[in-house]
Amino acid sequence: MGDEAHFPCYIEKENTTVLWVKVDKNTNNELNITVNYTTVHLDKRFKQMKQNGSKNWQLSIKFTQKTDEGLYLCKSTSNPVTKMYYELILIEAIARILDTDEKETGIIRVKLFSPLRLSCVLYNSISPPLYIFWYHYDTMINYDLEDNASVRHGRQGSELIFPKTEARHQGNYSCVPSNARQASIVVDVHGEIKKATSIGRKISVFREMILSIYIYNLFNFLY
């Protein structure tokens, strides 16, 4: 699902009308898609792709959707009539982000300053994706990586690699392929973050105390 579907139809006889129709398997009603070189279907994703000199009246469906599934018929009006049937079955490819144990847990916990590798694997994918984008929350980060982080692509997946995990690396990550359902995971960075937060709060309280003492002394000096 999401890829482009192609249905070849070879008609040997010239000077004949060739039609592509979608057949309702329950009622046998036919929905016209193309008549010769003209696409009569209102959905512009459907297109007849016969080249000059070719005998292949190929039908193409771009960005296939679940509603495109069904029975397709190519037929000519020549005598005898030529008919070719195709049934389109769409498989939805899905992405999964695996943790280090190759399990889909929904959350990855990593220690501060340790390496982090997010592996996105595609399942039920028939063809390689045109792209796989990585998002940190709502920001696409493939081309805006820092701290020697990198993205490596394979035929059916992608990896996002952080050599040293910082506190700012925690949060929600999404793997978004061009032809598969996206996957998301939460990275929880733990270790010294809580201690640093605790120290920061103590410093903040200390500063407030110093400021209060300063204001109190200044007030007494003036009055």
- Looking at domain 94-193, its CATH superfamily turns out to be Immunoglobulins (2.60.40.10)
- Looking at domain 5-88, its CATH superfamily turns out to be Immunoglobulins (2.60.40.10)
Which of 114, 111, 118, 115 has its CA nearest to residue 190? 111
Instruction: Write b or e for each residue in 115-153: b if 16 or more Cβ atoms lie within 10 A of its Cβ, otherwise e.
Output: ebebbbbbeebeebbeebbbbbeeeebbeeeeeebebee
In this prediction the pTM is: 0.64
| Cβ 54 vs Cβ 110: under 8 Å | no
* pLDDT 10s digits, 114-172: 999 999 999 998 888 889 999 999 999 999 998 899 999 988 899 999 999 999 999 99
**Centroid of chain to Cα 178:** 5
154 Cβ contact partners less than 8 Å away, ≥ 6 residues apart: none
Domain with CATH 2.60.40.10 in the chain: 5-88, 94-193
